[in-house]
């Protein structure tokens, strides 16, 4: 089973062994969030905090486990991100409503610095397509995230 998950996510044996009890969907979601946060080459404190909040709350993780998950996701993204493998795990492991919720969190990360640059915007479109979130829902989650960030 572990080998199958490694293959699904494109993980090296070292990364997968270090992942311990963190499941493939959690790692895939965290890696996707890190990918969005780092696409503009500026992974700041606000983005990191937003990701930690999401994985801790969404997956009911203790603070230290959430931190370990984030560290593993960062290591995976630094290595070789295979966006298709990650999004495939998300599609298979999360319901449509959960994928929409993940899109909203991704927008929060993209806008953590106040704006989404063209690379972030392009990546968000691509991710939405790969996890089968409709254009309408992707747009709604973007608007909702922007409104929440601005305090509307």
Do the beta carbons of residue 132 and residue 97 sit within 8 Å? no
Q: Which two tokens stand for residue 66?
A: 């959430």
d(CA 107, CA 69) in angstroms, rounded, equals 20
Helices (H) and strands (E) in the chain, counts: 9, 0
Task: State the pTM of this model.
Answer: 0.72
| pLDDT score at 21 | 63
d(CA 95, CA 113) in angstroms, rounded, equals 29
Do the beta carbons of residue 8 and residue 89 sit within 8 Å? yes
Q: Residue 122: how many CB atoms within 10 A of its CB?
A: 12
Q: Which two tokens stand for residue 59?
A: 């997956």
**What structural domains and CATH numbers belong to the chain?**
2-150 (1.10.3680)
Which DSSP category does 88 fall into? Answer: H
29 Cβ contact list (under 8 Å, min separation 6): 54, 55, 58, 59, 90, 94, 102
Do the beta carbons of residue 128 and residue 138 sit within 8 Å? yes
Per-residue pLDDT of the chain (152 residues; tens, 9 = 90+): 334 334 444 444 444 344 456 888 899 999 999 999 988 888 889 899 999 999 999 899 999 999 999 999 998 888 765 788 889 889 999 999 999 999 999 999 999 888 888 888 999 999 999 999 999 999 999 999 999 988 86
Which DSSP category does 114 fall into? Answer: S
CA distances from 9 to 14, 67, 140, 151 (A): 13, 20, 29, 36
């Amino acid at each position: 089973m572990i080998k199958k998950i490694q293959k699904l996510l494109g993980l090296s044996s070292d990364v997968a062994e270090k992942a311990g009890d963190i499941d493939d969907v959690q790692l895939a979601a965290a890696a996707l969030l890190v990918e969005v946060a780092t696409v503009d080459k500026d992974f700041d404190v606000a983005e990191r905090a937003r990701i930690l909040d999401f994985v801790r709350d969404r997956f009911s993780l203790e603070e230290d486990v959430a931190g370990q998950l984030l560290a593993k996701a960062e290591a995976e993204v630094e290595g070789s991100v295979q966006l298709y493998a990650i999004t495939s795990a998300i599609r298979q492991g999360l319901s449509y409503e959960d994928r929409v919720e993940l899109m909203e969190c991704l927008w929060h990360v993209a806008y953590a610095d106040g704006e989404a640059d063209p690379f972030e915007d392009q990546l968000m479109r691509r991710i939405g397509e790969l996890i089968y979130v409709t254009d309408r829902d992707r747009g709604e989650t973007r608007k909702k995230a922007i409104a929440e960030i601005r305090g509307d």
